[in-house]
Amino acid sequence: MRNRLFHKPKLHTALDGTEKKVSWLELFYDLIFVAAIIQLGNALSYSPSLGGALAFGALFIPIWIAWTAFTFYMNRFDIDDATHRGLVFIQMFSIGAMAICLPDVMEGDTRYFALSYVGVRLSQLALHYRTHRQVPEARDLAKRWMQLLSVDIAAFTVAAFVPAPWSYIAMAIGALASLSLPVSRASQVMTSRYPPDVEHFSERYGLFTIIVLGESFVKVLTEASAKGASNDVALMAALAIAITFALWWIYFDDVAGSNIKPKKRFAPFVWVYAHLPLTVAITGTGVAIKKFLFLIPAEAAPAKYRWLLCGMLALALVSVALIDHVTQRKQSDLSDATRVKVRLGSAAFVLLFAAAGGAMPSWLFLLSVSALCIAQVAFDLVMAPLESTEPHHVHDHHQHAADLFGTADDATHPTEDTDQTKPKTVRRDFSETVRKGAPSELRRDLYFFFMEGSWTRLFATFAFTYLLMNVVFACLYLLEPGSIANTGDTSFADAFNFSIQTMSTIGYGALTPATPYGNALVAIEAGIAILGVALATGVIFAKASRPKASALFTNNLLCMTHHGERTLMFRVGNARGSEILDANCSVTVVMEEVSPEGQQMRRLYDLKLVRERSPIFAMSWTVMHLIDEESPLHGVDWTAPGDHLIAFTIILMGHDRTYSQMVSARHTYFPEDIVVDRKFADVISVLDDGRFCVDYDVFHDLEPLAAPGEDLVDTGGHNEGNGDEEGSEAAGGDPQ
């Protein structure tokens, strides 16, 4: 129990072993920033130019600094008494005053805005001063923050009483001090001594991103309701909202779903500071898409609106690329470097759309931008198709924070849960193994990604790349009016059609390059098309021509008495029927063992087969292993084989005469696949015209063993590569 009127702050670090949750006061505190960001967006909306965008970004910085400073304090300390709440309410009043003063700043009057910001920082200074007095173990940390706040307060106080441009210079000095001091050497030492709670940070910055994303909905829905319902408004609003959805997906599926790389020194700071341009860009995007609701869909969008939207989206993608550079994606199939390249390339494409968008109707321009954003979502789904279903463990996040800031100490963390009562998972083939935490540089490359993926994935990627490249070159042609002859006023459709003709080397002759710039682009596009066709042909040929064995393995592995010996056997059939020459089979068993020192480990043993090689494998082959005293399986309790056995791995290799290449097949049997004292049904027979017939309808069927005295008869029948080379079960039958 503690006094609600007054209690001392308590230092919280990642080493405490407790989870830091976002408090109700923090959520309430965020509401004033909702109003401030809406006001800031309105200021940009009144001046959607380069100068207005720069002023918007500059004014966003002190608002973001104020929010971040409070978040840092709440991350490090547990406190919620009346005094603390009062100081927080003072901050909220001051933030509200800053929002009210934003229009004055856009007109050149910075006095009241600067004084309001000083009020925010004085309140935060009081929080740290209180901590300095009441929390002895955190005095050096509080002192460092007090020094930072003092510099910022002094700079903005000067800005309130000097004319422009000195007021802007003073505010810039204060903002730079706030942004630079945390990354100083002394601050890093304190950060390593008191590592922050990474999970709390991730949640707080995610909530702030939700706030700025919500500004997009406010702008779009407010404007749509003011204009009234119509098909044009519905179309433009739907495309605008799709961009917002894509930005949400990119952040919470990528940024919020990644871990900061522990071996990069400045990675945590890059992660934090990259959120500043990211939130600026998301807010600016909300303002930009509102402007498109004013437009007639069939007419071209004004340049200032195109550049505002595409510039902000490009800034958002570059910011995500920065975060991707210092994070590692969970459950990703492709390397982290691929993520960074895709974000940067998409940012360049977005800016190209802005330059060439004057030749497009506004609906097509907005559709193109939306499609590029949605493509980012599709890329995220393809590169990381799986997600972790493991529950959160608090100490895992604390260990990660300690590793990031160089204070890892295994002795300070609670032991892991050793509960052995969890239900066993279903056994799966080794090819379905989920690889978790693999180094980024060792993950799949694009060639492996396409070769192992489906044909749908391959052709969808080619189709998207083909369409994207033609759109890109169409935009490049539009950068110089008149670069294409016989088009009059060149439209996007003309440029797109000319790009298709160039890339596919059709060249009907109606559309031709008319300027040196156009000829240069044609040369570049033709070269890229040749390389693209060569790469596509190579990948398709390699994928289509890969030899695949058509080996069919029986569902069960049998343990039975054969010729008086306990024998393990399975059957494999050649379902395609192509001749496999010099087929070789190997069987490896994985067993659970305990060393004399008590260490549990898995051991692999190669099983000796009755026959490991078959000169011609065209129908079926029963592979056998005698369980004698030399066998690793000697002494296994076949009523409960799972107590010792983990799996049997079968490898079959041979030369396929049709492909004229080596082919291979692999299969895995688990203990639950073993059946005792049964035999395989006969599948080979001879037709009336003398041809062999393999009946795969009963290939997996099992039958009871023969009664004593009714042993298998060696008839010299049509066996093929059988395990003991002693004939088949019946004339023309399959050997057992």
What domains are there in the chain, each with its CATH number?
1-194 (no CATH), 551-675 (2.60.40.1400)
* Banded pLDDT at 420 (limits 50, 70, 90): very low
Start-to-end C-alpha separation, the chain: 77
> Is the bond preceding 165 in cis, omega lying within 30 degrees of 0?
yes
Q: Is the pLDDT of residue 734 over 50?
A: no
Distance CA 322, CA 337 (A): 11
Distances (CA, A) of 509 to 489, 502, 505, 520, 603: 18, 11, 11, 17, 70
* Burial (CB count within 10 angstroms: exposed 0-12, middle 13-18, buried 19+), residue 623: buried
Token pair belonging to 387: 């997600």
Provide the b/e sequence for 468-493 (b: ≥16 CB within 10 Å): bbbbbbbbbbbeeeebbeebeebbbe
Residue 386 is predicted with a pLDDT of: 64
CA angle 672, 678, 684 (to 5 degrees): 110
Q: Report helix, strand or coil for 33.
A: helix
What digits encode the pLDDT tens for the residues 666-713?
899 999 999 999 999 988 888 888 888 888 889 999 998 876 555 443
pTM of the predicted model, to two decimals? 0.69
* Banded pLDDT at 108 (limits 50, 70, 90): confident
User: Is the dihedral angle over the CA atoms 201, 202, 206, 207 positive or is it negative?
Assistant: negative
Residue 371: which residues within 8 A CB-CB, separation 6 or more?
Answer: none
Q: Where are the beta strands (DSSP E) in 209-311?
A: 258-260
Distances (CA, A) of 417 to 197, 395, 396, 422, 720: 21, 11, 12, 11, 54
Token pair belonging to 471: 């759109």
Q: Is the pLDDT of residue 265 over 80?
A: no
Residue 179 is predicted with a pLDDT of: 86
CA angle 32, 37, 41 (to 5 degrees): 150
Q: Is the pLDDT of residue 528 over 80?
A: yes
Which residues lie across from 613 on neighbouring strands?
A: 584
Instruction: Give the mean pLDDT of the chain.
Output: 82
Distances (CA, A) of 69 to 128, 150, 197, 199, 357: 11, 13, 15, 17, 40
Distances (CA, A) of 166 to 55, 109, 159, 177: 16, 12, 7, 17
Q: Is the pLDDT of residue 68 over 80?
A: yes
What angle, rounded to 10 degrees, do the helices at 275-291 and 24-46 form? 50
What digits encode the pLDDT tens for the residues 596-611?
777 778 889 999 999 9
Question: What is the rounded average pLDDT of the residues 16-44?
Answer: 86
218 or 421: which carries more pLDDT confidence?
Answer: 218
Q: Is the pLDDT of residue 733 over 80?
A: no
Does residue 251 come out as left (phi exceeding 0), alpha (psi in the -120 to 50 range) or beta? alpha
**pLDDT over 90, % of the chain:** 29
What digits encode the pLDDT tens for the residues 624-675?
999 998 899 988 888 888 877 889 999 999 988 877 888 888 899 999 999 9
Q: Where are the beta strands (DSSP E) in 122-274?
A: 258-260
What digits encode the pLDDT tens for the residues 310-367?
999 999 999 999 998 888 876 676 777 888 888 999 999 999 989 888 888 889 999 9
631 or 441: which carries more pLDDT confidence?
Answer: 631
